[in-house]
Amino acid sequence: MDIGVPSVRNLFGIKLERVFLWIAIGITSIPLHLLYNSAIYTSLAANEFFVTIVTNNHFESGASSNMTEDLFSMYRENYNITNWTGDMSQKFHQLRIVLEEYNTSAQNYDDLTPRRCTKLYNTEFISSHRNLFLITKQSDNAMHNTTLLDTFQVGVNGISPGRWMCDYHGVASGETYYQDGPTCNPSDLVSNVTNGLPWLLQLRRGGEVEISGCKSEKTEEKCKVQFSLRIMIVVICCNIAKACCMIITVVRSREPTLVTLGDAVDSFLRIPDPTTAAICFADRQFVKREWGCGWRTRPRQWRKMGVQKWWTSVSKTRWITCNALCSVAIMAAGVSLASGMGKDGRYWSNDIKSMWTRGFGKVNSVSLVGISFKNITMAILLANVPQTILSFLYLTYHSLFTCMLLGHEWSLFGHHHRTLRVTSPRPGQCSTYWLQMPYNYAIPLMVLSGLLHWLASQSIFLARVEIRDPLERPTPATISTIGYSCIAIIFALTLGILALLAAIGMGYRPLASEITAAGSCSAAISAACHTWEDPEVIVGKKVRWGDVGIVPNLVVRHLTFSSEGGVGKPVFGGIYAGTGQDRE
């Protein structure tokens, strides 16, 4: 059995009732990791809008006698339309309504300077404003005899919607803005206009105009905080199941527990196990390789030279499992980061400053996984898969540290007399830590886990956007997909690598004394607990493990726990009551 560490092997040696409780708690943990983080989520609002470029006398009384005819003429000339399709006709009528409604709702429009206008509309998902008039310095359009110079629609599904401000001539379609490449940077334009440079736009009809002002339609923001009833029901049911399991465990578990190293030593000192007699310095490898196979035991020389390292307290299987899984997760994060930076690099700079500006966990039009989910639950499950993986990795990482600290605590018994740390202390004993390991290790590990989970939630997250058209129809279109943040992935990746290196580095720390590498192996711990002292006396005192001299009934030296003085280090080359068959 394994003492003091999580172990699947122990399930085969405990009561069936406890196995079912363990399975129930484990199974109910999976939905919590997949769903709990997104039971409550935010929904962004984004407005599609028309941008209409007009002369500076457009809003004067009588400037245009027939707005519909002017608009029709502009559409026909700009887009060479001879046959009105359904989509083009719809766009035309929407824009006509917007232009005509200005006369009755002018109070809903803000007058903006070019500086304020560029800053306001250089936004990924604009929700506070909508349709926009760009007023040029041109007073009339003698060539076309109309105050309308051009118009287009900016959609939410475009790449960096703010790019229309400086790259209008790159519009691919007549209505919805979409740009495949980084031909301009709207942030540079905002900076230039802020510094007093003119804002110039290229007209589709030809020619370039300077923008002198804007009129922007104000709208009520529609961002929401929402929750999923189905997810909340699953979360509540899982928590109820966990609470019931805990209550059953507390009520029904009355027998003594073997939770800590001190529990095991206390138990074996009180009731020695005869099957491990005469193998007083058996370690975990010996138990697995020889004693478990029924080999004959006999006195043997102590051949360990110097103290061992912390990593010897951990089995090779546990080391390989933890390091391999963490390495795979780090490589997967690295691949995801490279893919994300490759996509973002087509539209933005990938320097640290630019990525920092895009922020942690912020939804934008570029950093989105190219999958649109009809069911938000599927998006939530995919966004929270990293949380489940991290939780599993943390269990293996935590168990690695638990094993090393268990070995360190075991080695302290070979250095000086110590009080047994047990779950239910008796006089002369001390209670266990609340967190199973010393607080100076447990608290940093909990902080590490919390940081990694938070960074994971900021690296890959649910992106839900409600899109409202320029007329703000009652039922908005909704996009549910997955967003990502490269800067958050970099931080998570860096922290994960440092955590893995820290575990490896801790493994090279020396133990406190020369002692057997018992680890969490119950048989090795049992072999070290065959003492000649009165069990009821020794367990109430401080004890030390080491060379206690020659035991009369063995006629050889013995290694065990003792509460008396005179306990020394094992002597190199000394003969001790056996650890196995000497095959030299």
Assign 3-class secondary structure to 38-91. Answer: HCEEEEEEEECEEEEEECCCCCCCCCCCCHHHHHHHHHHHHHCCCCCCHHHHHH
Average pLDDT over residues 440-459: 93
Q: What share of the chain is helix, strand, coil (3-state, %, to 5)?
A: 45, 15, 40
Average pLDDT over residues 337-341: 91
361 pLDDT above the threshold of 50: yes
Residue 296: the pLDDT is 64
The beta-carbon contacts of 169-172 under 8 Å, at least 24 apart in sequence, are 169/202, 169/204, 171/204
Q: What is the pLDDT of residues 229-280, one digit of tens each?
A: 888 899 999 999 999 999 998 888 777 778 888 899 999 999 988 888 888 8
Of 128, 138, 129, which is closest to residue 213 (Cα–Cα)? 138
Backbone dihedral angles phi then psi of residue 545, each to the nearest 5 degrees: -100, 140
Cβ atoms of 310 and 506 closer than 8 Å: yes
163 pLDDT above the threshold of 70: yes
Q: How many CB atoms lie within 10 A of CB 277?
A: 15
Query: E strand or H helix at 406, and its extent?
Result: helix 385-412
| Coil, helix or strand at residue 543 | strand
Residue 221: the pLDDT is 82
Looking only at the bridges linking them, the beta strands covering 477-484 and 129-136 are unpaired
302 pLDDT above the threshold of 50: yes
Q: Which residues contact 107 (CB under 8 A, 6 or more apart)?
A: none
What is the average pLDDT value for the chain, to the nearest integer?
A: 82
Angle at 291 between CA 288 and CA 296, to 5 degrees: 155
Average pLDDT over residues 421-425: 87
Provide Rg for the chain, Cα atoms: 36
Q: Distance (Å, rounded) from C-alpha 382 to C-alpha 17?
A: 34
Residue 173: the pLDDT is 37
Residue 176: the pLDDT is 37
Question: Which token pair is 160?
Answer: 């960096």
Residue 171: the pLDDT is 38
pTM of the model: 0.80
Q: Where are the beta strands (DSSP E) in 426-536?
A: 430-431, 460-468, 477-484
Average pLDDT over residues 509-517: 89
Average pLDDT over residues 396-403: 92
Task: Check residues 346 and 499 and name the one with the higher pLDDT.
Answer: 499
Q: Distance (Å, rounded) from C-alpha 316 to C-alpha 572?
A: 26
Looking only at the bridges linking them, the beta strands covering 430-431 and 421-422 are parallel
Q: Where are the beta strands (DSSP E) in 108-192?
A: 109-112, 129-136, 148-154
Q: Distance (Å, rounded) from C-alpha 450 to C-alpha 472?
A: 41
How confident is residue 510, by pLDDT bands cut at 50, 70 and 90?
A: very high
287 pLDDT above the threshold of 90: no
Task: Check residues 68 and 112 and name the one with the higher pLDDT.
Answer: 112
Query: Could you identify the residue written with the tokens 């072999």?
Result: 527
Average pLDDT over residues 468-493: 85
Choose from 184-193, 247-256, 403-412, 526-535 the range with maximum mean pLDDT: 403-412
Query: E strand or H helix at 377, and its extent?
Result: helix 376-383
Residue 331: the pLDDT is 95
Q: Tell me the one-letter amino acid at 211.
A: I
Question: Which token pair is 406?
Answer: 């268990």
Query: E strand or H helix at 32, and its extent?
Result: helix 16-35
| Coil, helix or strand at residue 249 | helix
Of 449, 455, 463, which is closest to residue 486 (Cα–Cα)? 455
73 pLDDT above the threshold of 50: yes
Average pLDDT over residues 338-350: 82
Q: Distance (Å, rounded) from C-alpha 195 to C-alpha 201?
A: 18
Q: What is the pLDDT of residues 202-219, one digit of tens each?
A: 777 677 888 999 999 998
Residue 24: the pLDDT is 93
Q: How many CB atoms lie within 10 A of CB 472?
A: 15
Cβ atoms of 421 and 262 closer than 8 Å: yes
174 pLDDT above the threshold of 50: no
Q: What is the dihedral of CA 214, 215, 216, 218, to 10 degrees?
A: 150
Task: Check residues 246 and 13 and name the one with the higher pLDDT.
Answer: 246
490 pLDDT above the threshold of 70: yes
How confident is residue 170, by pLDDT bands cut at 50, 70 and 90?
A: very low
Cβ atoms of 294 and 578 closer than 8 Å: no
Residue 65: the pLDDT is 53
Length of the chain: 584
Q: Which residues contact 237 (CB under 8 A, 6 or more apart)?
A: none
Q: Distance (Å, rounded) from C-alpha 291 to C-alpha 273?
A: 14
180 pLDDT above the threshold of 50: no
Q: Distance (Å, rounded) from C-alpha 335 to C-alpha 333?
A: 5
Largest CA distance in the chain: 121
How confident is residue 224, by pLDDT bands cut at 50, 70 and 90?
A: confident
Q: Distance (Å, rounded) from C-alpha 527 to C-alpha 272?
A: 9
Q: How many CB atoms lie within 10 A of CB 500?
A: 18
Query: E strand or H helix at 193, and its extent?
Result: helix 186-194
100 pLDDT above the threshold of 90: no
Backbone dihedral angles phi then psi of residue 345, each to the nearest 5 degrees: -65, -20
Query: Could you identify the residue written with the tokens 């110097």?
Result: 306
Q: Distance (Å, rounded) from C-alpha 30 to C-alpha 127?
A: 37
